[in-house]
Structure 1
Amino acid sequence: MQIVFMNRLSRISGADQEVFAQLWIGEEEGHWRLGWREFSGTEEMGDNLWYEGGSWNEMLCVYRHELAVKMGDGYRPLIDGSFHDEDSLTGTRNQEQLKLQYFSEHHGNESVYEELCAWRRGKASSERKAPYILASNRLLRMLSAFLPRTPEELLQIPGVGEGKASQYGGDWLSITSAIEREHSFPLGWVHQAVDEERFMAWQYKQKELKYKKQLERLRLRRVLLQGIEEGLGMEQLKAQGGVSRREVLEAVEELEKDGYSVEKLIALEMADVSPNEQADVWTAYELMGDTFLKPVLYKAYGEGFSPAEGLDVYYERLRLIRIRYRRGQAVQLGVATNF
């Protein structure tokens, strides 16, 4: 096996004793191995094998996730840029915004946060929008921590632009301005209020969570591709992947976008759906577009359609047929482009 990458890390462990470790990647005929080796003084503690297999992408996901865990525990690398990705923990503006987020997560006013969440639920219902489109949890946390009182202060909160401020700023300020606060604007004081070591550990925890999701997504895709090839249906894929049917369907849509064939699964799931019903859904997509499912549902099945078994099964059909529809549209566009 040839070692293609190695980095040395260290951390302080009790009585100011420095502990060392090596992180290494080896390759042999397309087979990857990833490991961690710790040292205590001059004593080698042995290898901990993190990954062994033929997928570079999966190995890289494991590398990033496990490294984030170790750096969250206090290890620091000899070579910077350890994660080899597009994100950076440096950059003045990025650091300032991250510190505001960190501070808000640890110093938010919980009652104000709950009131803002209640506002979001009500507004999302009245405007028929997904709650996250109105405001993210992160934004509501920052509003609850920094308690802006004026439109000018509100615009200093990351994630609040002119559009959001004009739409919802009045509602937010009616909640936040009624609460006493001990700090002032602008928020430059946050930089001094944040403990650098704890902030750094928090950043690596965020990376750990991010890379864990990436790794879970990558492994789910592998399970689905193998299952689809074996002729498994949605329920079997759900069991093998350990996720919900909705998560399976979302992953299947991503696979199609990335150029993988999922037609075998669609054909299996559509086997008991009549050709006339499938044709009605296809026509509805042609008339209503494929962005929103509800108009297509009512166009295909009739206004006020409310089956006893619920709508989930029908929305699932719509999404599977939409994969075919979009594939057909892409083919037509490609043909038109070639002329």
Structure 2
Amino acid sequence: MQIVFMNRMSGADESGHLRSAQVWIGEEEGGWRLGWRNMEPDGEVSDDEWYEGSSWNELLCVYRHQLAKKLGEGFRPLIEGVFHEPGETGNKNLGTQKLQCYSELYGSEELYTELCAWRRRKAASGRKAPYFIASNRVLRMISAFVPQNEEELLQLPGIGVSKASEHGVEWLEITTKIERTTTFPLDWVYTQLPEEEFLSWLYKQKEQRYQQELERFRTRRAMLIGIAEGASLTELEARTSLSRRDLVEELEGLEKEGYDTEQLLQVELNTMTAAEQENVWKAFEELGDTFLKPVLQRVYGQGQAENPEAEELGGTERLYERLRLIRIRFRRDQPGKANAG
């Protein structure tokens, strides 16, 4: 095997003992290998192979995810700057990240729980998803810095004038009952937050993000293999654990990126008559492809939910699925006319 990349890592464990390691990428017989080597002070060496295969893109996904885990455990590279992303070290972005880090590490769990309960009640009364009311990040910020007035509330990242106007009074009713030990403005966080704590937290965020990227990469690869083998959406559900709706959304993304999805379209639309497909196509031409509901009503009528065919297909959701699949062909065939309407 030929080593094409290697970086030495070091860090102290919880007892303060120095640890050394290497992360490496090698090429062997047209394939790629990626691994981690622990080097103990007594000279003992142990290897952990992270990846072996032919996909360079998959290797990079695994590399980012696994390295973020190691950096989160306290390892640091001998060669700095190999793991930074554009814009992540900007002063404004860095300040927001430090406030977020502090709020997650030192916020009041009791206050956060109370704010979450408020959000559930608010979401239920307004029939909205909780995240439309306020994100976990915003509630963490409030629980950590306990604003006492609107001016302080507006100093928290993620809370603008609109959000403060909508929910500020209720938030302040909760926070003003609590005695706090910190002050505004929040510049003190930037110097009081230990740098190593912040870096470990930052790499934990990267680990989660790269895990999602790796899972999506593998899902898409499974979809492409399945499409090439003539699999149906039902079969792809079993292979990927995604719902049919999510699979169609991924399919739209693959088509937009230039992948050939036609074989799956043929499998799914083979029970749809040519006349029905032609009606859908004409509706897209006349109404545009941005909104599906007008197309659904044009083709199947206002009472499409009670349509016997809709019931047979599993409900209106399956009719929408058909429209989305035909829209893929429509946009491919008439890119200049797509999104009109």
Q: Could you say which TM-score interval applies, normalised by the shorter chain?
A: 0.7 to 0.9
Task: Give the deviation of 1:240 after TM superposition.
Answer: 1.4
Q: What is the letter of the counterpart of residue 174 of structure 1?
A: V
Q: Specify whether residues 328 and 132 from structure 1 end up closer, same or farther in structure 2 by C-alpha distance, changes over 3 A only.
A: farther
**Would the aligned equivalents of 2:3 and 2:27 in 1 still touch at CA under 8 Å?**
yes
Task: Give the deviation of 1:279 after TM superposition.
Answer: 2.8
Three-state SS of the structure 2 residue aligned to 1:43 is: coil
Q: Specify whether residues 8 and 98 from structure 1 end up closer, same or farther in structure 2 by C-alpha distance, changes over 3 A only.
A: same
Task: Give the deviation of 1:103 after TM superposition.
Answer: 2.9
Q: Report which stretch shifted further, 224-233 or 104-113.
A: 104-113
User: Could you tell me how far apart the structure 2 residues matched to 1:123 and 1:328 are?
Assistant: 42
Number of aligned residues: 324
User: Could you tell me how far apart the structure 1 residues matched to 2:229 and 2:62 are?
Assistant: 27
Three-state SS of the structure 1 residue aligned to 2:270 is: coil
Q: Which residue does the alignment assign to 2:315?
A: 310
Structure 2: any 5+ residue segments left out of the alignment? Answer: none
**Would the aligned equivalents of 1:34 and 1:49 in 2 still touch at CA under 8 Å?**
yes
**Would the aligned equivalents of 1:147 and 1:176 in 2 still touch at CA under 8 Å?**
no
User: Could you tell me how far apart the structure 1 residues matched to 2:331 and 2:139 are?
Assistant: 36
Give runs of aligned pairs for residues 104-123 of structure 1, distance below 5 A: 104-106=103-105, 107=107, 109=111, 110-120=113-123, 122-123=125-126
Deviation track 1:284-318 (CA, whole Å, cap 9, x = no partner) reads 33344333333433333222432443322122212
Q: Specify whether residues 251 and 61 from structure 1 end up closer, same or farther in structure 2 by C-alpha distance, changes over 3 A only.
A: same
Task: Give the deviation of 1:38 after TM superposition.
Answer: 0.6
Do structure 1's residue 172 and structure 2's residue 167 form an aligned pair? yes
Do structure 1's residue 228 and structure 2's residue 227 form an aligned pair? yes
Q: What is the letter of the counterpart of residue 61 of structure 2?
A: C
Structure 1: any 5+ residue segments left out of the alignment? Answer: 334-339
Task: Give the deviation of 1:331 after TM superposition.
Answer: 6.0
Q: Specify whether residues 331 and 31 from structure 1 end up closer, same or farther in structure 2 by C-alpha distance, changes over 3 A only.
A: farther
Q: Specify whether residues 57 and 299 from structure 1 end up closer, same or farther in structure 2 by C-alpha distance, changes over 3 A only.
A: same
Task: Give the deviation of 1:159 after TM superposition.
Answer: 2.8
Q: Specify whether residues 96 and 259 from structure 1 end up closer, same or farther in structure 2 by C-alpha distance, changes over 3 A only.
A: same
Task: Give the deviation of 1:51 after TM superposition.
Answer: 0.8
Give runs of aligned pairs for residues 292-307 of structure 1, distance below 5 A: 292-307=291-306
Task: Give the deviation of 1:231 after TM superposition.
Answer: 0.6
Three-state SS of the structure 2 residue aligned to 1:25 is: strand
Give runs of aligned pairs for residues 196-211 of structure 1, distance below 5 A: 196-211=195-210
Q: Which residue does the alignment assign to 2:218?
A: 219
Q: Specify whether residues 231 and 190 from structure 1 end up closer, same or farther in structure 2 by C-alpha distance, changes over 3 A only.
A: same
Give runs of aligned pairs for residues 276-287 of structure 1, distance below 5 A: 276-287=275-286
Q: What is the letter of the counterpart of residue 329 of structure 2?
A: R
Task: Give the deviation of 1:216 after TM superposition.
Answer: 0.9
**Would the aligned equivalents of 1:117 and 1:140 in 2 still touch at CA under 8 Å?**
no
User: Could you tell me how far apart the structure 2 residues matched to 1:190 and 1:287 are?
Assistant: 57
TM-score by length of 1: 0.85
User: Could you tell me how far apart the structure 2 residues matched to 1:213 and 1:148 are?
Assistant: 34
User: Could you tell me how far apart the structure 2 residues matched to 1:241 and 1:92 are?
Assistant: 40
User: Could you tell me how far apart the structure 1 residues matched to 2:147 and 2:127 are?
Assistant: 22
User: Could you tell me how far apart the structure 2 residues matched to 1:70 and 1:199 are?
Assistant: 15
User: Could you tell me how far apart the structure 1 residues matched to 2:270 and 2:142 are?
Assistant: 51
Q: Report which stretch shifted further, 144-153 or 323-332.
A: 144-153
Q: Which residue does the alignment assign to 2:95?
A: 96
Q: Specify whether residues 269 and 25 from structure 1 end up closer, same or farther in structure 2 by C-alpha distance, changes over 3 A only.
A: same
Percent identity between matched residues is 48
Deviation track 1:171-195 (CA, whole Å, cap 9, x = no partner) reads 2112111122424432223334534
